[in-house]
């Protein structure tokens, strides 16, 4: 099983769920390009990211692919471009459509890039500096997972995420690579499509796009749940995923 995180995330975000699945499955938690410990590339590209994910697993080992948000889009693109690699697919709170890039993310990028890291001695200092722009404690804590001590940086701190490139290419990240998928056939493997009831990333209007690309999808909506459904409702998320896997 291969797990892919969302924008600003890291593979370790899946640790709790992965530990529960590791008794029956070999589990791989990947950092997407421009995130965590993965390489920073010149630009963000869905097909390139999908190829790098596929390359992390031996070519003769088909796998179950689980992706949330941006990771869900990369997972969908991988299944469409390399269907022989993906046995089954779980897409968590994202759709194969273009979104309005003026959602909350430009504000997050601006706040993180605008922080004066020279004022950070302890992580609590970073939390205080980011609070005016990101008042939600949960979101702020999530974003600050990208901040790490760096002895080579003048301030002693640096961002693990490639904020400059990700911010510049937010239009690509918010979109859906129709041109790159022009010759791709629909993915005919089983697909679990999970949605948070309080999130706007999966809507009835997007059903047609999902059905077009993934005709064997089954949509499950988690009540009283927002966009980060696997962290908000980990036990329910795990239960539904295990049913999908036949565990």
pLDDT tens digit sequence for 174-207 = 999 999 999 999 999 999 999 999 999 999 999 9
Does residue 129 share a domain with residue 50? no
Does residue 120 share a domain with residue 219? no
Number of domains in the chain: 2
Q: What is the mean pLDDT of residues 140-165?
A: 95
Position 103 pLDDT exceeds 80? no
Rounded Cα gap, residues 31 and 10, in angstroms: 5
- pTM exceeds cut of 0.75: yes
Does residue 210 share a domain with residue 89? yes
Does residue 82 share a domain with residue 6? yes
138 confidence band (pLDDT: 50, 70, 90): confident
Does residue 9 share a domain with residue 73? yes
The parent domain of residue 84 ranges over 2-99+175-245
Position 102 pLDDT exceeds 90? no
Among 68, 227, 230, 231, the active-site one is: 227
Q: Is 227 a catalytic residue?
A: yes
Does residue 88 share a domain with residue 122? no
Among 69, 95, 174, 199, the active-site one is: 69
Does residue 187 share a domain with residue 82? yes
Contact 79, 189 (CB under 8 A): yes
Among 39, 136, 164, 247, the active-site one is: 164
Position 1 pLDDT exceeds 90? yes
Beta-bridge mates of residue 195: 221
- Per residue in 26-42, pLDDT (tens digit) is 999 999 999 999 999 99
Does residue 133 share a domain with residue 95? no
Does residue 111 share a domain with residue 95? no
Angle among Cα 5, 165, 54 to the nearest 5 degrees reads: 40
Does residue 189 share a domain with residue 154? no
């Amino acid at each position: 099983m291969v797990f892919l995180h969302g924008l600003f995330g890291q593979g370790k975000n899946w640790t709790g769920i992965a530990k529960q699945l590791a008794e029956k499955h070999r589990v791989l938690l990947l950092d997407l390009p421009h995130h965590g410990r993965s390489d920073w590339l010149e630009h963000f590209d869905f097909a390139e990211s999908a190829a790098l994910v596929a390359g992390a697993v031996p070519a003769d080992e088909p796998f179950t692919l689980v992706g949330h948000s941006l990771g869900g889009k990369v997972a969908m693109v991988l299944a469409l471009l390399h269907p022989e690699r993906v046995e089954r697919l779980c897409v968590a709170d994202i759709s194969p459509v273009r979104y309005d890039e003026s959602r909350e993310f430009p504000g997050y990028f601006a706040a993180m890039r605008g922080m004066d890291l020279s004022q950070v001695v302890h992580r609590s200092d970073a939390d205080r500096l980011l609070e005016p722009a990101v008042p939600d404690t949960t979101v702020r804590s999530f974003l600050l997972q990208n901040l790490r001590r760096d002895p080579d940086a003048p301030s002693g701190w640096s961002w693990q995420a490639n904020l400059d490139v990700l911010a510049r290419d937010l239009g690509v990240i918010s979109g859906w690579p129709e041109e790159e998928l022009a010759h791709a056939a629909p993915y005919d493997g089983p697909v679990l499509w999970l949605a948070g009831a309080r999130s706007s990333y999966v809507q009835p209007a997007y059903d047609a796009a999902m059905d077009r690309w993934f005709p064997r999808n089954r949509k499950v909506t988690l009540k009283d749940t927002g966009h980060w459904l696997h962290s908000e409702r980990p036990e329910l998320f795990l239960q539904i995923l295990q049913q999908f896997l036949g565990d």
